[in-house]
């Protein structure tokens, strides 16, 4: 099944897995699946600032006794963003991957996505996620069975290798062999995690070789970076994870860049309002204050990269012990000069502490 992207129609209606997609003019954007981040609440927040063309769920864990995770399923059944969503699975048990894929196909999803890229050691040590890249023969069997049993779109998110790229070419051949409809490709190996340069040349290699569209993923940190990555790789679009946490306006800004429009300038005051939205998310309200603060700090860890060049916001935020302290810090850094510009790129040398895939 060919996957294509009709830019005009995507903003109007959700698509079902059985509707055709045709690759239209222009590039597409997708929010990367990030475990414990990209739930229905965060999707709704992102939608307020400018939706991507596609969403992907957090991964459904697949094993012998697995069932559909109800909180993750809400991202599908309660999706009111007006944008399609792909259901992502992670696992290595072929009968159970087929079983869960069939269950998910009964819901209004744009397709079924297989995670072959998660770099978390606790994941790849189980030979799932990025761990599958060590075993192309297993990938061949998994994709073959899924392709035979999934009537709609079957997509893959992966990295360019496990420790190196020695198996990259073979895995790409399997993507073509099994008629995968879309590949989201992070341009680092599993062992590189988030460190070092992204190998955009490898993404360009995949674009040139594969029949299916490829989304470039990894360090797409701004509209300007997205334009550069698209030019370097000739990818069909970009998938963005951590940078969308930092800057939820990024998808709108990319479309402005693609259309030649003036890029939205985000002010510190607007960022303060975004933080309030994150704090008011239903998932945050259902837990004690200490847990709410910890949950919010997960987001602030990324937001803080663009607040001040000295990193003062991040240092103080991380030491805050309660709501009063935390919001006082937010107010001092973001509302003292409310019309100050929120940097479109992370300031040099200011780092988050990544715990999620992008």
Smallest Cα–Cα separation from 49: which of 282, 273, 301? 273
Is the per-residue pLDDT at 283 higher than 90? no
Q: Residue 343 falls within a domain, yes or no? A: no
Is the per-residue pLDDT at 240 higher than 60? yes
Residue 181: is it exposed, middle or buried by C-beta count within 10 angstroms (0-12/13-18/19+)?
buried
Say what the pLDDT of residue 43 is: 97
Mean local confidence (pLDDT), 218-243 = 98
Q: How far is CA 61 from the centre of its chain?
A: 17
CA 108-31-237 angle, 5° bins:
100
Domain boundary among 231, 259, 287: 259
Q: How many residues does the chain have?
A: 358
| Parent domain of 299 | 268-335
Do 328 and 272 lie in one domain? The reply is yes
Residue 287 DSSP symbol: S
Do 242 and 293 lie in one domain? The reply is no
Do 77 and 166 lie in one domain? The reply is yes
Do 255 and 272 lie in one domain? The reply is no
Q: What is the CATH number of the domain that holds 116?
A: 3.20.20.70
pLDDT band at residue 19, thresholds of 50, 70 and 90?
Answer: very low
Do 232 and 162 lie in one domain? The reply is yes
The tens digit of pLDDT for each residue in 101-132 reads 999 999 999 999 999 999 999 999 999 999 99
The tens digit of pLDDT for each residue in 186-230 reads 999 999 999 999 999 999 999 999 999 999 999 999 999 999 999
d(CA 71, CA 155): 22
Query: Residue 47 has which token pair?
Result: 């939608």
Comparing 19-33, 151-165, 338-352, the range with the smallest average pLDDT is 19-33
Do 38 and 147 lie in one domain? The reply is yes
The tens digit of pLDDT for each residue in 295-342 reads 999 999 999 999 999 999 999 999 999 999 999 999 999 999 999 999
d(CA 288, CA 198): 39
Domain boundary among 230, 259, 288: 259
Say what the pLDDT of residue 17 is: 45
Is 229 within 8 Å of 185 (Cβ atoms)? no
The tens digit of pLDDT for each residue in 251-264 reads 999 999 999 999 99
Mean local confidence (pLDDT), 289-294 = 90
Question: What is the SS3 assignment for 267?
Answer: strand
d(CA 317, CA 63): 39
Count of domains in the chain? 2
Query: Residue 247 has which token pair?
Result: 């800057």
Is 184 within 8 Å of 32 (Cβ atoms)? yes
Q: How far is CA 69 from the centre of its chain?
A: 19
Say what the pLDDT of residue 357 is: 45
d(CA 354, CA 34): 11
Residue 6 CB partners (closer than 8 Å, separation 6+): 21, 22, 24
d(CA 119, CA 116): 9
Say what the pLDDT of residue 289 is: 87
């Amino acid at each position: 099944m060919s996957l294509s992207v009709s830019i005009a129609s995507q903003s109007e209606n959700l698509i079902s897995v059985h509707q055709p997609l045709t690759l239209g003019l222009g590039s597409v954007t997708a929010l990367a699946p990030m475990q414990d981040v990209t739930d229905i609440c965060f999707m709704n927040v992102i939608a307020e600032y400018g939706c991507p063309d596609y969403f992907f769920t957090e991964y459904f864990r697949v094993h012998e006794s697995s069932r559909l995770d109800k909180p993750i399923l809400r991202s599908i059944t309660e999706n009111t963003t007006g944008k399609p969503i792909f259901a992502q699975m992670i696992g290595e048990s072929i009968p159970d991957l087929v079983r869960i894929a069939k269950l998910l196909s009964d819901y209004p999803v744009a397709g079924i996505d297989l995670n072959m890229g998660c770099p978390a050691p606790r994941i790849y040590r189980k030979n799932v996620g990025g761990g599958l890249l060590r075993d192309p023969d297993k990938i061949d069997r998994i994709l073959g069975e899924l392709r035979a049993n999934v009537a709609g779109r079957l997509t893959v998110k992966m990295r360019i290798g496990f420790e190196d790229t020695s198996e990259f070419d073979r895995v790409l051949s399997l993507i073509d062999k099994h008629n995968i409809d879309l590949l989201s490709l992070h341009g680092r190996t599993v062992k590189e995690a988030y460190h070092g340069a992204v190998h955009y040349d490898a993404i360009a290699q995949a674009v040139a070789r594969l029949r299916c569209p490829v989304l470039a993923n990894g360090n797409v940190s701004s509209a300007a970076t997205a334009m550069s990555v698209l030019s370097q790789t000739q990818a069909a679009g970009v998938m963005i994870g951590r940078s969308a946490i930092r800057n939820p306006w990024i998808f709108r800004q990319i479309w402005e860049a693609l259309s030649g429009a003036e890029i939205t300038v985000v002010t510190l005051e607007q960022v303060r309002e975004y933080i309030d939205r994150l704090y008011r998310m239903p998932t945050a309200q259902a837990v004690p204050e200490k847990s709410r603060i910890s949950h919010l700090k997960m987001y602030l860890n990324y937001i803080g990269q663009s607040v001040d060049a000295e990193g003062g916001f991040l240092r103080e935020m991380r030491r805050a012990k309660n709501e009063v302290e935390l919001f006082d810090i937010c107010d001092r850094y973001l509302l003292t000069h409310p019309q100050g510009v929120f940097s479109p790129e992370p300031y040099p040398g200011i780092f988050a502490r990544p715990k999620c895939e992008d």
